[in-house]
Every structure is written in C-alpha cells, then in structure tokens.
Homo-oligomer: A and B are copies of this chain.
Amino acid sequence: MEEKILLSHGSGGKQTNNLISDLFIRYFDNEIISEMNDSAQLMLSSNKIAFTTDSFVVNPIFFKGGDIGKLAVYGTVNDLAVSGAKPLYLSSAFIIEEGFSIEKLESIVKSMATAAKEAGVKIVAGDTKVVEKGGVDGVFINTSGIGTIYENTHIKVDNAKVDDVVIVNGTLGDHGAVIMCERNGIGIDGELLSDCAALNSLVDSILEVCPHIHVLRDATRGGVAAVLNEIADSSGVSIELEESSIPVREEVKGVCELLGLDPLYIANEGKICCFVPREYAEQVITQMKKHPLGSEAAIIGKVVESEAHKVYLKTIIGGKRIVDMPSGIQLPRIC
C-alpha cells in the first residue's frame, strides 16, 4: 500500500519528528538544520544582507525539466542573485494535503536537495503543516532566502539609465509554455523543457566583467513584459525592444500561436533581464555566452529617453507597439 501523509504528520508530535528526521534532515543534510532548534543559527561573512521570500503553488507539481521543489529552490536563489547578493541559506516550509503520497514528497525533497547543492546554498530551517483533504491542492512550498550583498554593486530596479542595453541570457517563455502544454494536454515535437535553473553563477560571471550592471531581474510571473514595465516605471525611462532580436524557440512560438499567448508575457524560471551601460554590452554578452545558461544570450533592446515610461516593441514588419504591463488573468499557478 502506498504510504500517505496523515494529519498526524503535521501535529508537532512523534510523526512530525519522524517525517522531519527521515525526510527533510536526511536529504537537506547539513550541520545547521540537524540541530533542530527553533531557529537556524548562522554566522555570516558580512552584515549587509539580502532577504527574500516566495511561495510556490505550481500545477502540475512535476513537469518537463523540473518540479515544484527545484522551482522553489531556484526561484529564491535567483531573487537573491539578481539583487547582487551571494545566496547562502534557504528555509523551506511545506503545506501538504492529507493523503499526499510520501513517495512523491520524497522525490520533491530530493530534488530540492540536489538543486540546493547545485546552487551552493544550504537549506537550514523548515516547517511542515498538514491540512485536511481538500484544504490545499497537493503541496505548496515556501522558500525564504538570505544572501550577503556584494560590495561595489548598485543593482536596483530604479537604476536603469538612458542608453543602457537590455540583455537576456536566452530564449523566452520556455517554462510557461511547458506548464501550459502539460495542463492542456498538448503534445509538442522536440524536447521543450522548463528553463528552471539557478542563475547565481551566471550573475557572478557577468559581475566579474561588469560590476556596473544597473538593473537585474529574473523574468518570472508576467514574463519579460511585466519586469520591463516595472523597471521603466521605477526608473522613469522607456524601453525599446527589437522583435527580431528576441530569442524564442520554435516550439514556444507554436504553443503561443495555439493558445493565443505572447512569449513576452510568459513566465521564465531561468532568464534574467540585464541592463548594462552600452560600453559594457559586448563584454557581458561574450561572458554570458561562455556560460551554459547564457549560450543563447542576446541584446533585445535599449533604454530611451521618454516622458511616457513605457515599453515599446519595434516589430519585424517595421511597426512599433506598446508592450503594456500584463493585466487580467495570465497563467495562474505557473510557479
């Protein structure tokens, strides 16, 4: 018989402790979480830190190229990395539906452990709640994260400057397209995978050649469109994109046509928008391309002066249209 999560696994008693020891501590395996204190005790190398949180409710839990656990680790690692911080420590808090398969839970925890190792972070604090059947759909995970901020970087959402070049590290829309396909039962030719990845080593490598990066953002929910609109708005500038330069996989284009979606609005889980002074653009692109997560890096646009604080797209056929902030229901439970 398949082992399942029971309400008692969340009661704070014997079964909770067993689940914590046999699963979480076993896989996350580090000296800090093993102490099982109410808080993780950490000694940082600096007292200038970045702190972030994200909950993950993706549906389906397992998808091509990843799962909710991987996403939960990478998502928080990336939020730290794009803040110019070195990701160090993560917490992980599970809300699990009564009756959820322990085998599936184990596979998620294992995946988190692998992702954390790969990203060079430790999962040091946790929490487990179990909710009665129907009170939550499967499993939701929150990760919060801490990193130390690099000296001499000034990466901020309101720091985009006129003439900055906008660079992305690869094709757009892969994650969202995969989730949409799985949810709608769409089979596609080729091996389209979620792009979910830890971006901290890529960020490190570009900061090496260009500490003067003005803005970095990972383009998750709402896609590149949401991120660029936020940057334009906060920085008081406009952004002009070249449609012909935007890298999008053929498979993703196909899915978008089928579902009536725009790749600019689709979630990515391993893509950054990077604003750099024009004179560093070449160096940053070259450096990105050396990295496995940047081989398809491209300059997709530039920052221009304008009162409007808008994002424009110069289309392939020579037109120009506004790329507005996404509005209404996009793709629920994409991450």
Smallest CB-CB separation from A130: which chain B residue?
B332
**B contact residues around A46 at 8 Å (CB):** 47
**Which secondary structure characterizes the binding site on chain A?**
mixed
A328, CB-defined interface residue at 8 Å: yes
Smallest CB-CB separation from A225: which chain B residue?
B13
CA distance A267 to B85 in the complex (A): 38
From 83 to 128 in chain A, residues with beta carbon under 8 angstroms from any chain B beta carbon are 83, 85, 89, 91-95, 124-127
Q: List 16 A-B pairs, Cβ < 8 Å.
A: A12-B330, A14-B326, A17-B230, A37-B157, A38-B52, A38-B79, A38-B157, A38-B217, A39-B52, A39-B145, A51-B89, A51-B125, A53-B125, A93-B142, A93-B144, A129-B333
Minimum CB–CB distance from A266 to chain B (whole Å) comes to 11
**B contact residues around A184 at 8 Å (CB):** none
A218, CB-defined interface residue at 8 Å: yes
CA distance A7 to B11 in the complex (A): 31
A234, CB-defined interface residue at 8 Å: yes
**B contact residues around A43 at 8 Å (CB):** 47-49
CA distance A36 to B48 in the complex (A): 18
Q: A11-B221, A39-B51 are in contact. List 8 more A-B contacts (CB 8 A).
A: A12-B326, A35-B157, A39-B79, A39-B145, A39-B147, A55-B142, A136-B137, A142-B144
* Cβ B221 vs Cβ A38 within 8 A: no
**B contact residues around A53 at 8 Å (CB):** 91-93, 125-127, 142, 144
**B contact residues around A92 at 8 Å (CB):** 53
A41, CB-defined interface residue at 8 Å: yes
**B contact residues around A82 at 8 Å (CB):** 38
CA distance A273 to B89 in the complex (A): 28
A140, CB-defined interface residue at 8 Å: yes
* Cβ A13 vs Cβ B129 within 8 A: no
Minimum CB–CB distance from A13 to chain B (whole Å) comes to 3
A1, CB-defined interface residue at 8 Å: no
CA distance A97 to B42 in the complex (A): 35
Given the known inter-chain contacts A54-B93, A326-B14, please indicate yes or no for A137 contacting B131, CB distance below 8 A: yes
CA distance A218 to B35 in the complex (A): 17
A57, CB-defined interface residue at 8 Å: yes
A19, CB-defined interface residue at 8 Å: no
**B contact residues around A207 at 8 Å (CB):** none
A156, CB-defined interface residue at 8 Å: yes
* Cβ A332 vs Cβ B7 within 8 A: yes
A284, CB-defined interface residue at 8 Å: no
A15, CB-defined interface residue at 8 Å: yes
CA distance A136 to B133 in the complex (A): 10
A45, CB-defined interface residue at 8 Å: yes
**B contact residues around A226 at 8 Å (CB):** 12-13
* Cβ A329 vs Cβ B8 within 8 A: yes
**B contact residues around A146 at 8 Å (CB):** 49, 51, 146
**B contact residues around A157 at 8 Å (CB):** 35-38
Minimum CB–CB distance from A150 to chain B (whole Å) comes to 12
A10, CB-defined interface residue at 8 Å: yes
Minimum CB–CB distance from A201 to chain B (whole Å) comes to 17
